[in-house]
C-alpha cells in the first residue's frame, strides 16, 4: 500500500489514532464523548496504556482479567470510517511491509452510546441493544456493499416504500452478541442520522427538509418497529460486517423525541449501562 493510502506517523503508529498494534486489545468498547472514556476505564482492573490524539482518547488494560480497550470515536459516521479502518489495519495489515496479513483476525466492538427514543413505549432511561441499524447518511454510498442478509433485506424492502432524501443502508448486529445482550436489554431497531439537528428533525433556526422521525416511526418488519435514533451505529455495523468483525451497539435512551423529555440524571443512567455492559462482556 502506498504511503498516501495507509498513512503512518513517524513512530509507525496509524495516523489518526496514533497507536501501535500492541496497544489495542481485540475487545474494544467505543464511546462518542472523549470525556466518557474514564467512566468506562475506572472499572478496569488496571490501565496499562493511555493516549489522547485529536478526539480519540484510548485506555487499554484488563477487566476481570480480560484484555480490553476503551476509546472515544467522536460523533458521526465520518469519524467511525476513520476508527474502524484504522483499528482493522492494526490487526490485519503488517504496518512495516504495508501488506495485508495472510490470517485475518476478528475483533469485537461494543458501542456504549446515547440515543433518542422515537416511540412512546420506550421511556427515558431505557437501554436498547441494536439488532438492526438503518443508515440515514451517505457513508455507504462510497463502499461496495456485501449482499444483505435476509433480515437486512426485509428492512430494505420496507424502507423503499418511504420517500427519503437518500437510500438507507441496513445492517444487522452480530448474532452471538445480540443474544448475549438481549438477556439484559431490549432489542432495538436503530436509525443512524448524518447529523444532530435537521437530520434528526430538530429545528432551531433552520427547517428540516424531511420529518424523518414521523416518516419512519411506524415502519415495521414482523412486528418490530423503529425504536431510536443516533449517529454512529450503522457505520460501526456496516464496516464491521465488511471487514469481518463483530459489533453490537448499546443505546442508553437519554431523550424521548415524541414526548420532548430529556433525562435529568444522564451520568447516573450511563454509569449503570456501562457497568451492566462490562459485566455481560465478562460473562461471555
Mean pLDDT of the chain: 96
Q: Let me know: does 73 contact 56? Beta carbons within 8 Å.
A: yes
Span 211-270, pLDDT tens digits: 999 999 889 999 999 999 999 999 999 999 999 999 999 999 999 999 999 999 999 999
User: Average pLDDT of 127-156?
Assistant: 95
Span 52-97, pLDDT tens digits: 999 999 999 999 999 999 999 999 999 999 999 999 999 999 999 9
Q: Let me know: does 20 contact 13? Beta carbons within 8 Å.
A: yes
Rounded-to-integer distance, Cα 132 and Cα 115, Å? 15
The domains located in the chain, with CATH, are: 21-283 (3.40.50.1580)
Enter the C-alpha cell of residue 75. Answer: 460523533
Enter the C-alpha cell of residue 169. Answer: 443502508
Band of residue 282 on the pLDDT scale cut at 50, 70, 90 = confident
Measured in degrees and rounded to the nearest 5, phi and psi for residue 224 equal: -95, 125
Cell 486489545 belongs to residue: 25
Band of residue 114 on the pLDDT scale cut at 50, 70, 90 = very high
C-alpha torsion angle, residues 51, 249, 232, 165 (rounded to 10): 170
Measured in degrees and rounded to the nearest 5, phi and psi for residue 225 equal: -105, 155
Question: What proportion of the chain, given as a percentage, has pLDDT over 70?
Answer: 100
Name the pTM for this structure: 0.97
Residue 283's pLDDT is what? 73
Rounded-to-integer distance, Cα 252 and Cα 128, Å? 7
Q: Is the pLDDT reported for residue 115 higher than 90?
A: yes
Residue 284's pLDDT is what? 63
Question: In b/e form, how buried is each residue of 9-30, taking b as 16+ CB within 10 angstroms?
Answer: eeeebbebbbbbbebbbbbbbb
Residues 6+ apart with CB under 8 A from 186: 122, 126, 127, 128, 129
User: What are the CA-CA distances from residue 205 to residues 38, 198, 214, 228 (Å)?
Assistant: 35, 10, 20, 24
Amino acid at each position: 500500500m502506498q504511503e498516501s493510502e495507509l498513512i503512518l506517523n513517524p513512530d509507525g503508529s496509524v495516523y489518526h489514532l496514533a497507536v501501535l498494534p500492541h496497544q489495542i486489545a481485540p475487545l474494544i468498547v467505543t464511546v462518542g464523548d472523549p470525556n466518557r472514556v474514564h467512566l468506562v476505564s475506572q472499572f478496569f482492573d488496571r490501565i496499562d496504556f493511555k493516549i489522547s490524539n485529536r478526539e480519540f482518547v484510548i485506555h487499554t488494560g484488563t477487566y476481570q482479567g480480560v484484555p480490553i480497550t476503551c476509546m472515544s470515536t467522536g460523533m458521526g459516521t465520518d469519524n467511525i470510517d476513520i476508527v474502524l479502518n484504522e483499528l482493522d489495519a492494526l490487526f490485519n495489515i503488517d504496518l512495516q511491509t504495508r501488506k495485508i496479513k495472510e490470517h485475518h483476525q476478528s475483533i469485537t466492538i461494543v458501542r456504549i452510546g446515547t440515543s433518542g427514543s422515537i416511540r412512546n413505549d420506550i421511556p427515558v432511561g431505557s437501554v436498547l441493544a441494536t439488532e438492526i441499524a438503518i443508515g440515514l447518511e451517505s457513508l455507504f454510498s462510497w463502499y461496495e456493499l456485501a449482499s444483505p442478509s435476509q433480515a437486512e433485506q426485509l428492512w430494505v424492502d420496507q424502507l423503499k416504500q418511504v420517500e427519503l432524501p437518500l437510500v438507507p443502508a441496513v445492517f444487522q448486529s452480530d448474532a452471538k452478541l445480540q443474544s448475549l445482550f438481549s438477556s439484559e436489554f431490549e432489542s432495538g431497531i436503530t436509525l443512524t442520522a448524518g447529523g444532530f439537528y435537521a437530520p434528526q428533525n430538530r429545528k432551531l433556526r433552520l427547517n428540516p427538509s424531511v420529518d424523518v422521525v414521523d416518516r419512519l416511526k411506524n415502519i415495521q418488519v414482523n412486528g418490530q418497529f423503529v425504536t431510536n435514533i443516533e449517529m454512529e451505529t450503522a457505520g460501526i455495523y456496516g464496516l464491521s460486517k465488511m471487514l469481518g468483525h463483530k459489533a453490537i451497539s448499546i443505546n442508553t435512551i437519554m431523550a424521548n423525541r415524541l414526548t420532548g423529555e430529556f433525562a435529568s440524571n444522564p451520568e447516573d443512567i450511563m454509569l449503570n449501562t456501562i457497568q451492566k455492559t462490562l459485566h455481560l462482556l465478562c460473562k461471555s
